[in-house]
């Protein structure tokens, strides 16, 4: 029987804030433990309030711990480990509620039952399919490894990732939302300068579209001042509370203005992520003395270290962002002086700083987006939009993958979003290149070149084909058609001559009172013979071209432009 006190199911490599509760997987070994508060569950376990340890879970939880720990050691994000822990707590809460026996042997079948439960919640519109798939996928990824399954266990469930069909309207709307969100972030930054932050409360926030609201730095009324006081001072009369609030407003420090400072930091961080394409976790760990901001022709080169990839990684900041970034660095220095080395130093209400590993939820930005009717675009969406923009601009997946610090497989599988605008352009370019009716200026349906404007030659015979930039025979009687002095051109002329020779043999007279196409073919043949004779008689070099081209045609080796047409004529 396992001794609970001897089980080591914690993660010493994770760095926690002073008020955070360390992750301990022992809570999963007791029925009801996953549902209990993290601050009291270990005490309840110690005094026996949750009953005995469930022995059948020991091996399963131990393997979960080993896999999570291995991921941390390999350089995976600590926030990922916290998400995995939250996912397993949700899974185990459901298991406890259903009174199901869970072990390493039954884990896969129980997981499928849980996925059906999540799907049922989706059908009831309690959660979205994306949320259900996300939380089940987090748990399923670990189970797939520890159960040594050949394919992901989530693939054996009925949960499917919600992949919405793209359309031009949706694609345009996404870009419009990104631009609108970007304007909101810039407006927030511009409103929260040093004077506004340390001035009289509230700070009046004004957007470029005329919308306004007030920011109170956490104290919108007298009663809220209680939340900033020690517990033994919260029970006092309104007059004293008013005095405390006045003192709070008059104390121009990081402690009293932390809400305003964090709001600007949230906006600055999102702008930074959109410009550099960095991951949120990666950007949070950047330090002023660790990151090298080197001027370049395009703005800045940001260098840092990425554990998962190893080595030094360079991020380009666009030149348009350079001035804004320099203003942020100046603002940051005025606010924090030399009190912290972190590039984005978020702070608590007591004036202390959050750890770089602390995940930022951007809650205030989200609330403001709801207030001003603007769609919130998180770090992942900003990064994905930037990568797709680079891919569309460069049309170079190798370059884009290198810029995003990914392989091409990851780029295509996770980040690339189909664009109907790009597909439309590619279709147009393809048909413009291959459709004879859409030939580019300078090329002609027949061998040779032209300016794309059909003009019949002077005194053109009535039975001759008329130039129309569609039928090759018409080019032979066009004022703007030009020959090319090359062997390939002569070979194409000889092949076209052979095509028309076959065409005339297969021609049958048409009805009376309609144009005689046979005459058109005969006129084209005569013109082609004249051109070949001119090349043959002009000099010895061109004569060799004609002889070689005619010999090839006799051997049924036709020019590629005419070969497939001639083969079709022979059928």
What was the pLDDT predicted at 299? 53
For 68-74, which contacts have Cβ atoms below 8 Å and span 24 or more sequence positions? 68/11, 68/142, 69/11, 69/13, 72/11, 72/13, 72/14, 73/13, 74/308
**Are 36 and 12 within 8 A, CB to CB?**
no
pLDDT tens-digit map of 49-106: 999 999 999 999 999 999 999 988 887 778 788 889 999 999 999 999 999 999 999 9
pLDDT tens-digit map of 426-450: 666 676 666 655 555 556 778 888 8
Per-residue b/e over 138-174, b at no fewer than 16 CB within 10 Å? bbbbbbbbbbeeeeebbeebebeeeeeeeeeeebeeb
**Measuring CA to CA, how many Å separate 556 from each of 109, 328, 549, 551, 570?**
68, 73, 11, 9, 12
For 287-302, what is the mean pLDDT?
59
Over pLDDT 90: what percentage of the chain? Answer: 30
Which has the minimum average pLDDT: 166-175, 282-291, 514-523? 166-175
Judged against a pLDDT cut of 50, whether residue 167 lies above it is answered with no
pLDDT tens-digit map of 509-535: 655 555 556 778 888 899 999 999 999
Strand spans (E) along 430-503: none
SS3 16: coil
For 200-223, what is the mean pLDDT?
78
Q: How confident is the model at residue 309 (pLDDT cuts 50, 70, 90)?
A: very low
- DSSP string across 356-393: TTSPP--HHHHHHHHHTT-----HHHHHHHHHHHHHHH
Taking the C-alpha atoms of residue 528 and residue 507, their distance in angstroms, rounded to an integer, is 19
For 152-178, what is the mean pLDDT?
68
Over pLDDT 70: what percentage of the chain? Answer: 74
* pLDDT greater at residue 213 or residue 313: 213
Judged against a pLDDT cut of 60, whether residue 169 lies above it is answered with no
Taking the C-alpha atoms of residue 486 and residue 475, their distance in angstroms, rounded to an integer, is 18
Taking the C-alpha atoms of residue 440 and residue 430, their distance in angstroms, rounded to an integer, is 12
What was the pLDDT predicted at 405? 53
Which of 311-325, 467-481, 497-511 has the largest mean confidence? 467-481
Tell me the backbone φ, ψ of residue 485, rounded to 5 degrees.
-85, 75
User: Over the chain, what is the mean pLDDT?
Assistant: 79
**Are 215 and 356 within 8 A, CB to CB?**
no
> SS3 string of 307-350?
CCCCCEEEEEECHHHHHHHHHHHHHHHHHHCCCCCECCCCECCC
Q: How confident is the model at residue 411 (pLDDT cuts 50, 70, 90)?
A: very low
What was the pLDDT predicted at 438? 52
**Are 135 and 87 within 8 A, CB to CB?**
yes
For 34-46, what is the mean pLDDT?
89
Question: What does pTM read for this prediction?
Answer: 0.56
Which of 13-27, 298-312, 347-361, 370-384 has the largest mean confidence? 370-384
Per-residue b/e over 106-130, b at no fewer than 16 CB within 10 Å? ebeebbbebbeebbeebeeeeeebe
**Are 376 and 365 within 8 A, CB to CB?**
yes
For 145-156, what is the mean pLDDT?
91
- Calculate helix-pair angle for 258-276, 319-336, nearest 10 degrees: 150
Q: How confident is the model at residue 341 (pLDDT cuts 50, 70, 90)?
A: confident
* pLDDT greater at residue 363 or residue 304: 363
Q: What is the dihedral of CA 558, 562, 563, 567, to 10 degrees?
A: -130
Q: What's the half-sphere exposure (Cβ side, CA atoms, 13 Å) at 440?
A: 8
Query: Of 142, 144, 162, 44, which Cα lies nearest the Cα of 89?
Result: 142
Query: Of 237, 236, 256, which Cα lies nearest the Cα of 246?
Result: 256
What was the pLDDT predicted at 571? 62
Taking the C-alpha atoms of residue 128 and residue 24, their distance in angstroms, rounded to an integer, is 29
What was the pLDDT predicted at 422? 60
For 284-289, which contacts have Cβ atoms below 8 Å and span 24 or more sequence positions? 284/342, 284/344, 284/356, 284/357, 284/358, 284/360, 285/356, 285/357, 286/342, 286/343, 286/344, 287/341, 287/342, 287/343, 288/341, 288/342, 288/343, 289/341
SS3 198: coil
Query: Of 195, 191, 129, 201, which Cα lies nearest the Cα of 160?
Result: 129
- Burial grade of 131 (CB within 10 A; 0-12, 13-18, 19 or more): middle
For 487-495, what is the mean pLDDT?
92
pLDDT tens-digit map of 393-408: 545 555 545 555 555 5
Taking the C-alpha atoms of residue 113 and residue 133, their distance in angstroms, rounded to an integer, is 14
**Are 420 and 168 within 8 A, CB to CB?**
yes
What was the pLDDT predicted at 316? 65
Which has the minimum average pLDDT: 135-144, 407-416, 465-474? 407-416
And the tokens for 254? Answer: 């990081």
**Are 291 and 301 within 8 A, CB to CB?**
no
How many residues are there in the chain? Answer: 571
Judged against a pLDDT cut of 80, whether residue 122 lies above it is answered with yes
pLDDT tens-digit map of 528-567: 999 999 999 999 999 999 999 999 999 889 998 888 788 8
What was the pLDDT predicted at 84? 92
Q: Which residue has the tokens 């992901």?
A: 152
Which of 76-85, 137-146, 162-171, 210-219 has the largest mean confidence? 137-146
pLDDT tens-digit map of 252-267: 778 888 899 999 999 9
Q: How confident is the model at residue 189 (pLDDT cuts 50, 70, 90)?
A: very high
Tell me the backbone φ, ψ of residue 68, rounded to 5 degrees.
-65, -40
And the tokens for 239? Answer: 């007059």
And the tokens for 269? Answer: 């961080």
């Amino acid at each position: 029987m396992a001794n609970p006190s001897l089980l080591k199911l914690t993660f010493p490599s994770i760095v926690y804030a002073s008020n955070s509760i360390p992750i301990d997987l022992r809570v999963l070994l007791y029925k009801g433990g996953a549902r209990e508060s993290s601050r009291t569950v270990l005490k309840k376990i110690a005094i026996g309030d949750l009953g005995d340890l469930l022995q059948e879970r020991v091996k399963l939880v131990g393997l979960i711990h080993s896999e999570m720990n291995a991921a941390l050691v390999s350089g995976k994000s600590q926030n990922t480990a916290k998400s995995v822990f939250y996912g397993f707590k949700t899974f185990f809460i459901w298991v406890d509620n259903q009174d199901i026996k869970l072990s390493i042997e039954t884990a896969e079948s129980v997981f499928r039952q849980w996925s059906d439960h999540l799907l049922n919640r989706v059908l009831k519109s309690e959660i979205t399919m994306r949320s259900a798939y996300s939380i089940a996928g987090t748990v399923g990824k670990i189970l797939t490894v520890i159960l040594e399954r050949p394919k992901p266990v989530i693939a054996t469930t009925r949960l499917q990732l919600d992949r919405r069909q793209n359309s031009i309207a949706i694609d345009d709307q996404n870009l419009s939302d990104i631009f609108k969100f970007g304007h909101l972030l810039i407006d927030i930054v511009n409103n929260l300068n040093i004077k506004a932050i340390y001035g009289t409360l509230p700070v009046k926030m004004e957007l470029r579209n005329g919308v306004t609201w007030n920011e109170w730095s956490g104290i919108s009324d007298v009663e809220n001042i209680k939340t900033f006081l020690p517990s033994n001072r919260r029970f006092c009369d309104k007059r004293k509370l008013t005095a405390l609030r006045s003192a709070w407003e008059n104390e121009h420090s990081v402690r009293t203005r932390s809400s305003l400072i964090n709001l600007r930091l949230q906006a600055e961080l999102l702008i930074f992520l959109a410009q550099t394409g960095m991951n949120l976790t990666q950007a949070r760990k950047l330090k002023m003395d660790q990151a090298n901001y080197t001027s370049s022709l395009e703005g800045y080169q940001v260098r840092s270290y990425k554990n998962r990839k190893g080595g030094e990684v360079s991020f380009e900041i666009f030149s348009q962002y350079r001035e804004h970034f320099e203003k942020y660095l100046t603002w940051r220095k005025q606010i924090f002086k030399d009190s912290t080395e972190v590039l984005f130093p978020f702070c608590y209400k007591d004036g202390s700083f959050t750890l770089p590993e602390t995940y930022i939820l951007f809650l205030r930005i989200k609330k403001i987006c709801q207030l001003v009717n603007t769609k919130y675009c998180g770090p992942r969406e900003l990064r994905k939009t930037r990568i797709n923009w680079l891919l569309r601009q460069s049309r170079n997946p190798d370059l884009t993958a290198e810029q995003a610090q990914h392989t091409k497989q990851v780029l295509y599988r996770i980040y690339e979003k189909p664009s109907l605008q790009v597909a439309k352009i590619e279709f147009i370019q393809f048909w413009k290149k291959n459709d004879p009716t859409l030939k580019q200026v300078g090329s002609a349906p027949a061998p040779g070149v032209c300016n794309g404007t059909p003009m019949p030659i002077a005194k053109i015979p009535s039975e001759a084909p008329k130039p129309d930039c569609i039928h090759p025979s018409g080019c032979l009687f066009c004022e703007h058609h030009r020959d090319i002095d090359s062997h390939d051109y002569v070979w194409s002329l000889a092949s076209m001559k052979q095509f028309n020779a076959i065409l005339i043999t297969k021609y049958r007279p048409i009805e009376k009172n309609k144009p005689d196409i046979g005459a058109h073919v005969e006129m084209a043949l005569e013109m082609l013979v004249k051109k070949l004779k001119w090349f043959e008689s002009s000099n010895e070099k061109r004569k060799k071209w004609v002889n070689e081209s005619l010999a090839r045609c006799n051997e049924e080796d036709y020019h590629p432009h005419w070969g497939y047409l001639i083969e079709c004529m022979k059928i």
